[in-house]
Structure formats: structure tokens, C-alpha cells
Structure 1
Amino acid sequence: MNVRGDGKVKPSETVKLLKDSTRCMVIINADCYSALNTRKKLIIDNHIDPTRELKFIDLLFTFPKHTKHSTIWFHRKWIILRIQQHFSSNDISQWQYEINITRRVAELYPKNYYAWTYRHWILLNIKTDSVQSKSFFVDELKIMKIWVQTNISDYSGFQHLQRCLIRIGQYYDNSFSDFYGISRRDILNKININTQLQNRDLKKNSRSDSIVSLWYKEIQFTKDLILRYPGHESLWYHLRFLSFGWIWLKLSGYLNNSIEYSFNEIDENNNSINSITKKWPELENELEFSRYCINLVNQERSERMVIQKQNALAFELWISELNDRRKKDIKDLISKLADISIDSNYYIVQNKKYSS
């Protein structure tokens, strides 16, 4: 160690000591706030190259346990935001590199909440005003559709797939809403939706057709998965998201009485294992799909099929309430769920609510 005449360590040696010591501390414990904050200060003072710091984090992510620490993900996000001024938000190569990192981490920990949250953040930071952006979103959607087929119970994966759908929708229509901001009460009362419609001039065009086609195909895809892999609640929750979105599309003017017939071509190359998945997602057809799944359960009484029946009934109840069906129909569904669900007490209480 170099020491000045007054016995103090030279500034350059102090910086080197800080860089090396904090590096070791973070390798040992990726949740060490003090070490990461010190490294942030070194980056601000230009003692650490932020791009090299990203490489260092890449190294940390080769340790599976480090991928589960939120602090290291926030540190990476902070670095990206700092160097973002040097590349456009539509510099797809930079964002693609970040996506690849999260993909590798997801393979180490498929249900890594922080990695998936970071991946959502990447999508939100890519603007939707270029063809390159659309290609990125479409490619990410394709990747996610492959992913969920091999990770059926990964809720985080399905949520990211939903984010991809929304971003593609926002490419086609920049006023396309994020459904996470719309409640079931909004749908039932049609208050916020109708207020939005008064301020928008939604006309049927190729872009709105593209959104409807995107949603329709995803509903078919999800129903296929439900039939192929029975007993997975994650699939039914994804179908709820899609059904909720479909109703929003209808209320927002994307659908009209004749649009169904313009989508006949969608089915030509469809590999659905059953024609019931191809039906237009109106209420009666959704109820028919739920009952079809229940009838399959009655033919096979395995544990997973019993769970499938519970999920199908819960979906039928959910969409019935969303469409404001008769109280008697809803009470009947609640009674059926109370008979077979492990949460029977919850449904008994719900039944009393509808009886009052």
C-alpha cells in the first residue's frame, strides 16, 4: 500500500481498496446495502465504469442464491437508468441483452419474483412507436408462450405474458389501456369505461382488428392448455385476465356485431385439440367451455380432474358475476363450490351474502 509522507493512504489507493473490498462483500452477501451504496458513489465519481459493473452483476447471477436478492436487481436497474442517456430507449440490442439475463436467471429459479419484475420493467421502458419495438414485443410473446407450456404453474411467467399482450396492444393503439388499472367494479358499472369512450374516437380499422385477433388467438391458446394440462389454477387465472380484457375490448368499441365473421380465417391453420376452444368468447360460449371441462371431470375422477372441476366452477362463477347474471344462477354455482372446495367456508359466507 502506498503511503504519503504524512502517513495517510493515497486517494487512489483508497478508491482501489473500496472497489476491491465492496466487490468481495457483495460476492459474499448480495444484500449488503452499504457495499452497493458505496459502489454507486464510485460510479457517480467515475471510479467504476457502469458497463463493467453490469458485467460484475452478470457474474453474481451465476450464483443461484444471489438471483433472489432484491437489492442486486435494484442496483442493476439504477445502473441502467444512469447509462440510459447513452442509448435510446429503443436501442433494442441493449434491452435484448437485459432480457437474456432475466431468461437465464429464470432457468435457475423459474419462480424468481425479482427477475420477472425486472423483466416487466424492461417492457415498460421500451417505447411503442417503432416497428423494432413491435418486433421485440412479438418475439418476447412467442418466447413466453413456449415458456408457459413447460412451466404451467409459473404465475410470474403468465403475468409477463400478459404484459407482452398489453404492450403489443399499445403499439397498435397508444390509448390501449393497462387492464391492471381497471377493476371489476368499473366493468360492472361501466362508469370509467364509458367516460373514456366519450373522449375517444375509436373507429374500426386494421389496427383495432389486430388487437382483437391477438386477444382471440390468446384465448384459444389458453383454452387448449387448460384441456391439455388439467388441474392448473394458473391457466384459469390467465383465462380470467383474457376474458376481462375481452369484455373491456367490447365496451371500448373494438368489437361490433359483425366483427366475428371477419375472423373466420383465423381458424384455418388452428391446431386446437377441440372445436370448443375456437368459439367466439361471448358469455354463453365461455359458460359452455367451463361446463365442457366439468363434464370431462365427471368421466375421470382423478385428483387433478377434481381440481379442474373446482377451477372451472370458480371461473364460471367469476364470469357470471362479471356479466351480472341472475342471483339464482350465481347462488347455485356458489353452492356447488362450497360442496367440493377446500375453502368451503368462504363460499358458504358468499352464499349468505347473495341470500340477504
Structure 2
Amino acid sequence: MDCNLFPAGERILADIESIFKKDLKLNEFVITLVEMNENKSPVNHMDHCLCLESWCVPYLYNYTHIRLKELRKQKKRDLSGHNKLLIGALLLNPDVTLFWNMRRELVTNLRIDPQFELQFTSVILSRKPKSPEVFSYRKWVLTVSNSVPLDPVLLANELQICELAANRYHSNYSAWNHRIWCLESVSDPSIYIEEWEKSRHWVSSHVSDYSGFHYRQKVLQYLVKVSTSDVKILKKCDSSLIKVAINSLQQFLHPTDDGFVGNDYKLTTVTKKILKDSKSCQLSFESIELGLIASELLFNTDLLVTFPGHEAIWCHRRFIIYVYKKFINKLKMQIEKEANIHKDSNGVPVEKDPKFECISESLLQRLIQFEEMICIQFKTDFDSVYSDRHSFRLNNLTR
């Protein structure tokens, strides 16, 4: 298609660029269904929303695509005309890597302000919330503008954009991965604790969307890591999180009257120790780490009860069990290491305390007992398939 066949293209692009310059609070882009040219500008603007009539979309995109390819081939390129064309092209199709690379060139040559790019990409995400190219470019802009680590204002803005994108598109891993990147750039435990609570509310209202659970898993892994290195960091940030962890662990480990007798005395010993430690504020990292895992397991159980028949909840439970088993293996190694340290003068290991000799095994048995009850409880019409799969994986847990 010859560019001369759409003479209105330049005027439409100029109108779009003008709106971006005038409205610094522009936050949405939509294409309205208008099948015929009504001999007026197809660009509309109201309430910080940019609207483009659908009849001109194929013509405008072809126009920008051809013009940009022509400019790209020129040996001595005039970058001044690129911005307007790229705005139009990327609004209509943000999944073209070449166009984003051309915008990177403009930013590098100081032809456009990185702050404008953040607004521009947020407008694109209002229509294409799952585009990985947009999030990748946004990450690049924040990096080259020396905004990483993100300050509180920028971080809040990025988290809000990610949440809007996740709400607009199911299973939006691009948005959640960008959110993870934002947290990793800050590495502030208090932010992770806030995200722990926020993600709890989000997954509770999007129980079939596993991408939200995947994000929550990343937050859980970070909190477990922090509790392992220094529990005082978590306590300083939010003491309520510590209380939740301790209460969940007590609830999970508390012996029941359902016939499970074998290792109950060990579980009772562990629970009493946790109660004693929590009263004296001498919280070990093992207690907090296992408590966080237990709290997530109990939360997942509540979701299964409230929202039956959702595979995403069962998949998330599989991850929780994986983290629990990983903790058990680490605890077992620590117990064996301590046993090797405590030897007499002849190098013979001293007698172990029988109450703590099989702590890791008793904790694993408690998990298996708990999960077996779950499989029986949820063997219903809604969850029978998922329950059977979970039971099968549970049988492989001790291997």
C-alpha cells in the first residue's frame, strides 16, 4: 500500500501525539466501533481516555508500518519524525520488537523523556494488558533512567499498573513477573509483607487464576528466606506476621483425636517449645519458617472449602507441600549435623534426646496425615479428580 493512499494518516498521528502532550493524566486507549468514515477526525478524547474509530485502524497501521520501514532503511536517518509514527504503530500493535528498539534509540539519543515513556506504555497496557514487549520495555526505561531501585512513589505506581493489568487479563504472567521484578529491585521485607496480604485478597477473588498463586509463591519464598537469615527483620517490620506464623504452626501441629498416635508425643514437644519461645520472644527461624508454610497450607484449605472445583488451588497446594518437604530435608540435615558435632573424647556420638531424634520424620508424618484427611474430605463431585491426583502424589512423598 502506497502511503499516499491514506493522506489522513499524518493528521491522525498529529492529533494523537497532541493529546499525549496535552493530557499528562491520560490513562486509557480504546478503539470504538465505527464502520464508516463520517468525514471527521476519528480521534476522540474525553475523561483522560484516547479513543480511535475502528474504520481507520488498518489504514493507519499500514501507513505507520510502511513509513517506519522506509525510515529504517535510510542511511542518514532523521529521528525527529520517528516518535509520532511509533506512537501510532505501537498503540495499535505493541508486539513488534523492532518498533520498541526504535523507541529505545530515541530514548538513548535523548529525543524523548523516559517519564513520557512510562505514561505511554501505561496507556498501551490499558488495551493490551498482557503484552510482554510493553513490560520488557518499561523495565528497560526504569533501568536506563537510573530509577532502580524504585523509590516509594515509582514502586506504588508500578504495582498499581501491574494490578490493573492482572485484573484486565486472566493468567497475566507478564504483569505478575513485572511485579516480581519490582519487588526484587527493592528487596524491602516490609514491602513483601504488604504484598503477602494484598496477594491473599487477590487470589481469594481470582481462585481460578494460577498466575496470582505463582506470584504468592515467590513472596512466600522470600519471606521464608528472610526468616531463615534473621527472624528479627520480620519481627521489626510486622509483628502480626510472626503471630500468624506461630498460631498457624500451633494449629497445624496440635495433636488430634482421630487415631494418629505414633509420633504425637514429638509433635506435642515441638508445640510446647513453640509456645514457650513465643512467650519469651525467643523465636527460632525454624518455628517462623515452618509457621509461614503452615499458614499458607491452612489458607489453601480454606479456599478449597469455600471454592470447590478449582484446579489452580490444588496446584498451589502442591507447591506448598514441596516447600514443606524442602524444609523437612533441611531440618533433617541440621539435626544430623548437630549429632555429629556432639561427640565424646573418643569420637563416639553422645546419646541423643529421644524426643527430638525423629522430629523431621514426625513433621513429615503430620503432613501426610493432614493431607490424607484433605483427600478424604474433598472426594466430592467437584474435586474428586483433583483429590485423586493429590492422593497419588502424596503416596510418592515418602519415597
> CA offset at residue 251 of structure 1?
1.3
Cα distance in structure 2, aligned partners of 1:280 and 1:67? 44
| Letter paired with 1:168 | L
| Letter paired with 1:229 | F
SS in 2 for 1:67: coil
Cα distance in structure 2, aligned partners of 1:152 and 1:161? 12
> CA offset at residue 221 of structure 1?
0.6
SS in 2 for 1:61: helix
Aligned-CA RMSD value: 2.8
Corresponding residue of 1:208:
286
Cα distance in structure 2, aligned partners of 1:62 and 1:28? 12
CA-to-partner distance for each residue in 1:278-307, whole Å, 9 max, x for gaps?
x9952122212211222xx2xxxxxxx2x4
Cα distance in structure 2, aligned partners of 1:25 and 1:175? 50
Corresponding residue of 1:73:
135
> CA offset at residue 310 of structure 1?
1.4
- In the superposition, relative to structure 1, how do residues 92 and 86 fare at CA in structure 2: closer, same or farther (>3 Å)? same
Q: Give the TM-score of the pair, scaled to structure 2.
A: 0.57
Cα distance in structure 2, aligned partners of 1:28 and 1:233? 35
What stretches of structure 1 of length at least 5 have no aligned partner? 1-12, 128-132, 177-203, 262-278, 298-304, 325-356
Matching of residue 16 in structure 1 with residue 80 in structure 2:
yes
Matching of residue 290 in structure 1 with residue 345 in structure 2:
no
The range that moved more, 96-105 or 15-24, is 15-24
Match among 131, 134, 142 for residue 189 of structure 2? 134
CA-to-partner distance for each residue in 1:135-174, whole Å, 9 max, x for gaps?
1111111111111111111011111111110111222235
Matching of residue 105 in structure 1 with residue 105 in structure 2:
no
Matching of residue 169 in structure 1 with residue 233 in structure 2:
no
CA-to-partner distance for each residue in 1:256-288, whole Å, 9 max, x for gaps?
877xx9xxxxxxxxxxxxxxxxx9952122212
- In the superposition, relative to structure 1, how do residues 61 and 90 fare at CA in structure 2: closer, same or farther (>3 Å)? closer
For residues 1-356 of structure 1, the aligned pairs below 5 Å read 14-63=78-127, 66-83=128-145, 85-87=146-148, 89=149, 91-127=151-187, 133-174=188-229, 205-253=283-331, 281-294=366-379, 297=380, 305=381, 307-324=382-399
> CA offset at residue 97 of structure 1?
1.8
> CA offset at residue 86 of structure 1?
4.2
Cα distance in structure 1, aligned partners of 2:155 and 2:227? 21
CA-to-partner distance for each residue in 1:294-349, whole Å, 9 max, x for gaps?
2xx2xxxxxxx2x401111111110211212xxxxxxxxxxxxxxxxxxxxxxxxx
Cα distance in structure 1, aligned partners of 2:392 and 2:210? 21
| Letter paired with 1:106 | A
Query: Contact (CA 8 Å) 1:123, 1:167: kept in 2 or not?
Result: no
- In the superposition, relative to structure 1, how do residues 233 and 80 fare at CA in structure 2: closer, same or farther (>3 Å)? same
Query: Contact (CA 8 Å) 1:92, 1:136: kept in 2 or not?
Result: no
> CA offset at residue 16 of structure 1?
2.9
User: Which of structure 1's runs of 4+ aligned residues deviate more than 6 A?
Assistant: 254-258
Query: Contact (CA 8 Å) 2:199, 2:216: kept in 1 or not?
Result: yes
SS in 2 for 1:144: helix
Query: Contact (CA 8 Å) 1:243, 1:281: kept in 2 or not?
Result: no
CA-to-partner distance for each residue in 1:42-92, whole Å, 9 max, x for gaps?
1111111112211111111222xx223221121112112222x345x2634
> CA offset at residue 94 of structure 1?
2.4
The range that moved more, 33-42 or 108-117, is 108-117
Query: Contact (CA 8 Å) 1:31, 1:69: kept in 2 or not?
Result: yes
Cα distance in structure 2, aligned partners of 1:253 and 1:124? 27
Cα distance in structure 2, aligned partners of 1:81 and 1:20? 24
**Aligned pair count?**
247
Q: Give the TM-score of the pair, scaled to structure 1.
A: 0.63
What stretches of structure 2 of length at least 5 have no aligned partner? 1-76, 232-281, 336-354
| Letter paired with 1:163 | K
- In the superposition, relative to structure 1, how do residues 150 and 16 fare at CA in structure 2: closer, same or farther (>3 Å)? same
Q: Which has the larger radius of gyration?
A: 2
- In the superposition, relative to structure 1, how do residues 90 and 74 fare at CA in structure 2: closer, same or farther (>3 Å)? closer
| Letter paired with 2:97 | Y
